[in-house]
Structure 1
Amino acid sequence: MKRRTSRLLSSTTFTTVAALGLAMALTGCTKLETTSPSTVRDGGAAANSVHQMKLGTVDCSRAKCVALTFDAGPSENSARLLDILKDEKVPATFFTLGKNHIAKYPELVKRMDAEGHEVASHTWSHKILTDLEPDEAREELRRPNEAIEKLIGHKPTLMRPPQGRTNDEVNKISREEGLSEILWSVTAKDYTTNDSALIKKRVLDQTERDGIILLHDIYKGTVPAVPGIIDGLKKRGFVFVTVPQLLAPGKAEPGKVYR
């Protein structure tokens, strides 16, 4: 796994640009507008998804909601993570990678969906979309959509651009492919450490209402940190939801960016 992860991240490490993605999520000179969950809730029309119905209705205009999200899986760590989430009755949103992940662990993708989690896209091979020609960027988004649909019967409606990097052209392609872009407001930077206690502390220190928490289930320190994260946030009154639940009764619109 170490060799595979190394190949995935060798030229575009999460470490160097994840902070840039969180702070700016833009390239070139175009200022990118992002929309907050509360704005979607306040202005959106009611649109409950199949997943929301499975997991029950949570009114995040009243409850102190937070969304756990996991990037770049599935991996050999994901089955244990799903066990934890099932035991804790916590839904999550999985931004899955195609190459070496969806293709290698199809049963885990099916399990994510069957257990009420939101299955979303993190592109096919983690190429930086803003560095690609439009046709290549479109292929990076289209291939995981098709692979996921074959496994769970429907295409994802959410995607997370690698390193959070997006621009007007990526927005346009995402809109045409029926995808909304989801960034994050909390990062444990778990790509920099295997210290589970530190990962937990970083999440607990940063999380506020409507937080979208970025974690990676490909790193060995992350999954062991999840029970403590869940316990710590529950004690502070947080309710865990998927990203679509966080936005309900509004709904993410294709081509728009949310954080």
Structure 2
Amino acid sequence: STVPTYDHCAQAGHFALTFDDGPFQYSWDLAKYLHSRGIKATFFTNGNNWVENFKTATTSTSDGIKSYIDVLKYYHELGHEIGSHTYEHKVLKGLSTTEVEYQMNQQSDLIYEAIGQRPRLMRPPEGELDNAASIVLNDLGYSSVLWDIDSKDYELKGLAYSQNLVRAVVDADSTGGHISLQHDVHEASAVELTPWMVDYITSKNYTFVTVSECLG
């Protein structure tokens, strides 16, 4: 059968912040900021996307130089959830079974090396799946997580542009459970949009949850 797929939270009043494509140089301090606000988010991670040589690469943070394995460990220590966004950010639609398995298993191994747990949640790159890939994901034991709020932060059109997109969805349904999409590889999204999101969504009396909590 095909992979279970979700795009919003099961419970009214729940909001899941999700971040794709990292970790990258902004991710440590983003995780730290969210923790300082009492928020657990979900990071859909790649191992070979914005960062090459993941296991040896380092980044500067407010806590000094850290490896990207350290960043994954830090997410876990702070209670953030780590999902898979495939190893190389490969669109799974059209790939062979072997290729889909490679993309998922490589990333699962990387996450396991960092935190001693394997991801059960995945987000398909570009949100694209076909039936064949969906069956493989189900066989591997994943759930597929999409979103109902797209900040379009990757278009790099500025803060107001993303704010309007987020407001449009939340103002139309200000009690339903939402999953938002951001990308922690973009500095403006990590350091400008996220604090605004936290304040705005908090003002709507939402409770921030991880995706696992969001799905109930």
Same fold (TM over 0.5): yes
Q: Aligned ranges for residues 57-206 of structure 1 at < 5 Å?
A: 60=11, 64-100=13-49, 101=51, 103=55, 104=57, 105-193=68-156, 195-206=158-169
Which structure has more relative contact order (CA 8 Å, sep 6+)? It is 2
Query: Which consecutive residues of structure 1, in runs of 5 or more, have no partner in the other structure?
Result: 1-31, 42-59, 249-259
Q: Percent identity?
A: 31
Give the Å deviation of 1:133.
Answer: 1.6
Distance 2:154 2:186 in 1: 7
**CA distance change for structure 1 residues 151 and 33 in 2, over 3 Å: closer, same or farther?**
closer
RMSD: 2.1
Give the Å deviation of 1:194.
Answer: 5.0
Distance 1:78 1:185 in 2: 23
SS in 2 for 1:131: coil
Distance 1:87 1:160 in 2: 26
Give the Å deviation of 1:36.
Answer: 5.9
Distance 2:157 2:24 in 1: 16
Distance 2:138 2:82 in 1: 18
Report how many residues are paired.
196
Structure 1 residues 12-52: Cα deviation after superposition (integer angstroms, max 9, x where no partner): xxxxxxxxxxxxxxxxxxxx9855656xx5xxxxxxxxxxx
Contact 1:68 1:213 in 2 (8 A): yes
**CA distance change for structure 1 residues 130 and 82 in 2, over 3 Å: closer, same or farther?**
same
SS in 2 for 1:99: coil
Q: Which runs of 4+ in 1 moved over 6 A?
A: none
Give the Å deviation of 1:99.
Answer: 0.9
**Whose strand proportion is higher, 1 or 2?**
2
Q: TM-score, normalised by structure 2?
A: 0.84
Give the Å deviation of 1:91.
Answer: 0.9
Query: Which consecutive residues of structure 2, in runs of 5 or more, have no partner in the other structure?
Result: 58-67
**CA distance change for structure 1 residues 230 and 126 in 2, over 3 Å: closer, same or farther?**
same
Q: TM-score, normalised by structure 1?
A: 0.70
**Whose helix proportion is higher, 1 or 2?**
1
